[in-house]
C-alpha cells in the first residue's frame, strides 16, 4: 500500500489551515491605505500577527491526536504554543511585505501592483509559517514516541518538482525537514514492522496530467523525464532544495535596504515599537529570547538516547 491515508488526510488538513490563515491575513493587508502604506500597515500588522499565531497553534494542535491514533501515546503531550513559537519571530515576516511594496514603488511600479506584490509575499510567508509550526509539532511528537524510528515525506499533488523528487523518502528523526517557501509537504511516522510502501517520485509523475507535469518540470524537463531521464538530475539542474535550520527559514526576499542605513534597518525599529511584544519580542523579552533553543531534530541528533531526547523536549517546552 502507499503512505497511509491518515497521513495524507493529516497533510490535507494542514494545507487547508495554512490556506485559510493566509486568506485571513491577506484580507488584513488588503485594508491598508494606499496613500499611507507604511503607517497603515504598522497599524494593522498586530492583527495579522494574531491571525498567524492562531493559525500556527491550530495546525500544531492536530499533531497530538493524530500521532496518538497512529502510534499510541507518547512520553508527553506536544505543546502547540511551543511549536508555534519555535517557528520563529514574526517581526521580520510581517515587515518584509511592506518592504517589498515600498521597493516596487521606488522602482516605478504602480501603487496597485506594488500592493499586490506585498500581498503575494505575505501569503507565501503565512503559509510557510503555519506549515512549519505543524511540522515542528509532528517532529516533537514523533520523538516522544519510542515506537517511531523514522519519518517519511508525504507529498500530495499538485506539488512542485523540488518536493516530488523527495516524495516517499525516509529520514531519521535527527534529519531536518527540507522545505521551500509555501511548501505543504508533511511527515508520516514509520515504525518497525510497517509494511506500507513509499510513494515514489516516478509514481507521482505518472499520476500527473500533462499540464501538471509541464507546470512542475517545464516543457523540456517533462519531455526529458518521459524519455527516461533521471528526474532528480533534471530538477537539480534547474534549482536546488533549500535547507532551513533552527528558527529561521530561507525565503525569497529582497536584500534591498538591509544595510545599516538601508530601508529595512530604518524601519524595523519603528515597526517593532508600533507593534510591541504581541508578535515580536522587544526589550527584556527579546533579551530572554536570545538563548539558544534547539529544534526537535537537533535535540534527537545531540541526545545520548531516546530518554535523553524526551527530557530535552520537555526542557525546551515542546512536550509537557
- 43 phi and psi, to 5 degrees? -75, -35
Rounded Cα gap, residues 130 and 30, in angstroms: 20
* 32, pLDDT greater than 60: yes
| pLDDT at residue 5, rounded to an integer | 83
User: Angle of helix 111-143 relative to helix 37-71, nearest 10 degrees?
Assistant: 30
Rounded Cα gap, residues 78 and 67, in angstroms: 10
pLDDT 10s digits, 257-291:
334 544 445 555 666 565 543 444 434 444 344 45
| pLDDT at residue 268, rounded to an integer | 58
C-alpha cell, 244: 532551513
Q: What average pLDDT does the segment 314-319 reach?
A: 87
Per-residue pLDDT band for 73 (boundaries 50, 70, 90) equals very high
Q: What average pLDDT does the segment 60-83 reach?
A: 94
Q: Considering Cα of 224, then 226, then 229, then 235, what sign does the dihedral take?
A: positive
- Sheet with 186-190, side-by-side order of all strands: 170-172, 150-154, 186-190
pLDDT 10s digits, 7-20:
888 988 999 999 99
Amino acid at each position: 500500500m502507499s503512505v497511509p491515508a491518515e497521513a495524507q488526510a493529516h497533510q490535507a488538513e494542514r494545507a487547508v489551515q495554512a490556506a485559510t490563515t493566509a486568506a485571513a491575513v491577506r484580507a488584513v493587508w488588503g485594508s491598508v491605505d494606499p496613500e499611507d502604506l507604511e503607517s497603515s500597515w504598522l497599524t494593522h500588522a498586530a492583527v495579522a500577527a494574531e491571525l498567524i499565531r492562531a493559525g500556527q497553534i491550530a495546525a500544531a494542535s492536530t499533531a497530538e491526536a493524530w500521532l496518538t491514533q497512529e502510534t499510541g501515546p507518547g512520553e508527553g503531550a506536544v505543546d502547540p504554543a511551543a511549536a508555534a513559537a519555535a517557528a520563529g519571530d514574526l517581526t521580520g515576516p510581517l515587515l518584509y511585505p511592506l518592504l517589498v511594496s515600498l521597493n516596487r514603488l521606488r522602482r516605478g511600479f504602480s501603487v496597485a501592483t506594488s500592493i499586490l506584490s506585498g500581498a503575494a509575499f505575505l501569503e507565501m510567508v503565512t503559509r510557510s509559517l503555519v506549515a512549519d509550526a505543524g511540522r515542528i509539532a509532528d517532529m516533537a511528537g514523533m520523538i516522544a514516541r519510542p515506537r517511531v524510528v523514522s519519518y517519511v515525506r508525504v507529498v500530495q499533488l499538485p506539488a512542485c518538482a523540488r518536493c516530488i523528487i523527495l516524495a516517499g523518502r525516509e529520514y531519521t528523526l535527527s534529519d531536518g525537514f527540507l522545505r521551500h517557501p509555501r511548501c505543504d509537504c508533511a511527515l508520516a511516522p514509520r515504525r518497525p514492522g510497517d509494511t506500507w510502501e513509499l510513494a515514489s517520485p516516478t509514481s507521482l509523475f505518472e499520476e500527473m496530467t500533462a499540464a501538471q507535469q509541464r507546470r512542475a518540470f517545464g516543457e523540456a524537463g517533462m519531455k526529458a523525464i518521459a524519455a527516461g531521464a533521471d528526474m532528480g538530475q533534471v530538477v537539480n539542474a534547474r534549482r536546488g532544495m533549500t535547507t532551513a535550520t533552527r528558527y529561521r527559514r530561507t525565503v525569497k526576499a529582497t536584500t534591498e535596504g538591509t544595510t545599516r542605513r538601508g530601508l529595512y534597518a530604518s524601519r524595523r525599529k519603528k515597526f517593532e515599537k508600533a507593534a510591541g511584544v504581541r508578535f515580536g519580542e522587544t526589550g527584556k523579552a527579546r533579551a530572554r529570547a536570545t538563548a539558544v533553543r534547539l529544534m526537535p531534530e537537533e535535540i534527537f541528533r545531540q541526545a545520548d538516547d531516546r530518554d535523553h531526547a524526551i527530557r530535552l523536549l520537555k526542557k525546551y517546552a515542546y512536550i509537557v
